[in-house]
Amino acid sequence: MSQRYDYVMAGGGAAGLSLAYHLVQAGHTDKQILIIDLEEKRNNDRTWCFWIDRPFLFDPIVHRRWSHIWFHGPHRSHRFALNPYEYRMIRGEDFYRYTREALVASANVTFLNAAVTEIVDGDVAAGTPAQVVLSSGETVEAEWVFDSLFLPRDFVVDEARYRFLKQHFVGWTIRTAEASFDPAAATMFDLRIEQNGAFRFMYILPFSEREALVEYTFFSTDLLDRETYEAGIRSYIETYLPGVSYEIVEDESGIIPMTDQPFPRHGGQRIMRTGTKGGRVKASTGFAFLRTQRDSERIVRSLEKHGHPFAVPAPPRRYGTFDAMLLSILDRTPDRGRDIFVKLFEKNPLPRIWRFLDEDAGLVENLKLMASVPWGPFIAAWFDVRLRRMRRQKGE
């Protein structure tokens, strides 16, 4: 007979571990939790950055905090103080270790290193559980399955109806022979580089005066070969840190989906999709870590209040429209992207931008922000988004 759990995390990456951690922190120690992942998750396979204006559950493993950011447009550079916000960074390996240590110490949590091949829904009314099938042929039963098994290659894109871009990047952590970086300020956008038909920028996280992650980032449809990203980083260093000698101490790369195509939360009556698979990646920025933490809190609250995980509030619909408009602009007229980001950062106080991106701001504040960006491309994008919506409604 297969073993039965209350909650099965299918995928023990950011979403699976976060939700399990939030559950245990909230005192759900009477529930049996199983976390299944292909990998043991001990590598530093990614780093997560996010802006925040308050103490946070994972503050003990924050690796770096920046009180300022740099924004470089083609003509002007700005060094902004973030106060009351900070830009914080957590290393993947620290997050995996910290959550695992806390979770294994809780007698109700089990880790399983295995591949999930299928998740079969249960029936709530009939009281039958969901079944999680493993590559060994074994199954486990679950009252609720939280499915974060997202593989970009399996994601079916409906290109006729939605925009689909990718945030793709390669970064080098470099150590320089002499002091080269401003350690108090992360560079969110360096848009001084030529755009050449694809929205691109350099993103820099300085760890000291002599060490920083320098990441060449694109929001576009097509991926590039590794050498193109690396040549871009090399040329950037030669141009903006002339004469500096450096060694590469680590590298990182990634692809994050950016689309207005919906990611349905329900995978079935007993299956809730979380993380990237559950649409937690903000379509216009690729940020997901803090959104995943908020989502975990809301899922825990829903379980406590309603006995099921699905009562999580959705943000106002207009945020989906803003995201879709920006994707439309970056897809159809990528060279307009730079001007939009320059206006956004030069004409708005930072907290207004953060609240907008966090989907926390009211309508009036949203309108103030939208009034600061060039209208032409947004009007064209609004028509494009409407047209695609109408086509979807007509079933075309």
In the bound state with ligand FAD, the residue whose beta carbon lies nearer, of 358 and 384, is 358
Shortest separation between residue 256's beta carbon and ligand FAD, angstroms = 5
* Residue number with the smallest Cβ distance to ligand FAD: 13
Shortest separation between residue 208's beta carbon and ligand FAD, angstroms = 19
In the bound state with ligand FAD, the residue whose beta carbon lies nearer, of 31 and 91, is 91
Distance CA 128, CA 72 (A): 57
Shortest separation between residue 11's beta carbon and ligand FAD, angstroms = 3
Shortest separation between residue 18's beta carbon and ligand FAD, angstroms = 8
Spatial contact of 300 and 22, defined as CB atoms under 8 Å apart: yes
SS3 of the chain: helix, strand, coil, percent, to 5: 35, 30, 35
Is the peptide bond prior to 84 cis by the omega test (within 30 degrees of 0)? yes
In the bound state with ligand FAD, the residue whose beta carbon lies nearer, of 169 and 199, is 169
Distance CA 77, CA 14 (A): 34
DSSP 228-277: HHHHHHHHHHHHHSTT--EEEEEEEEEEEEEESS---SBSSSSEEE-GGG
43: left (phi over 0), alpha (psi -120 to 50) or beta: beta
In the bound state with ligand FAD, the residue whose beta carbon lies nearer, of 148 and 348, is 148
In the bound state with ligand FAD, the residue whose beta carbon lies nearer, of 221 and 372, is 221
Shortest separation between residue 237's beta carbon and ligand FAD, angstroms = 21
Helices (H) and strands (E) in the chain, counts: 9, 17
β-pair type (185-190, 116-120): unpaired
In the bound state with ligand FAD, the residue whose beta carbon lies nearer, of 191 and 205, is 205
Rounded to the nearest 10 degrees, what angle do helices 317-332 and 337-347 cross at? 130
In the bound state with ligand FAD, the residue whose beta carbon lies nearer, of 115 and 314, is 115
In the bound state with ligand FAD, the residue whose beta carbon lies nearer, of 288 and 342, is 288
* Token pair 């080269």: residue: 180
Shortest separation between residue 17's beta carbon and ligand FAD, angstroms = 8
Binding residues for ligand FAD, per CB under 6 A?
11-16, 36-39, 41, 46, 48-50, 115-116, 148-151, 252, 254, 256, 275-276, 281, 287-289
Distance CA 293, CA 176 (A): 35
Which H or E element spans position 70? Answer: strand 68-72
Shortest separation between residue 10's beta carbon and ligand FAD, angstroms = 7
Shortest separation between residue 167's beta carbon and ligand FAD, angstroms = 8
End-to-end CA distance of the chain: 47
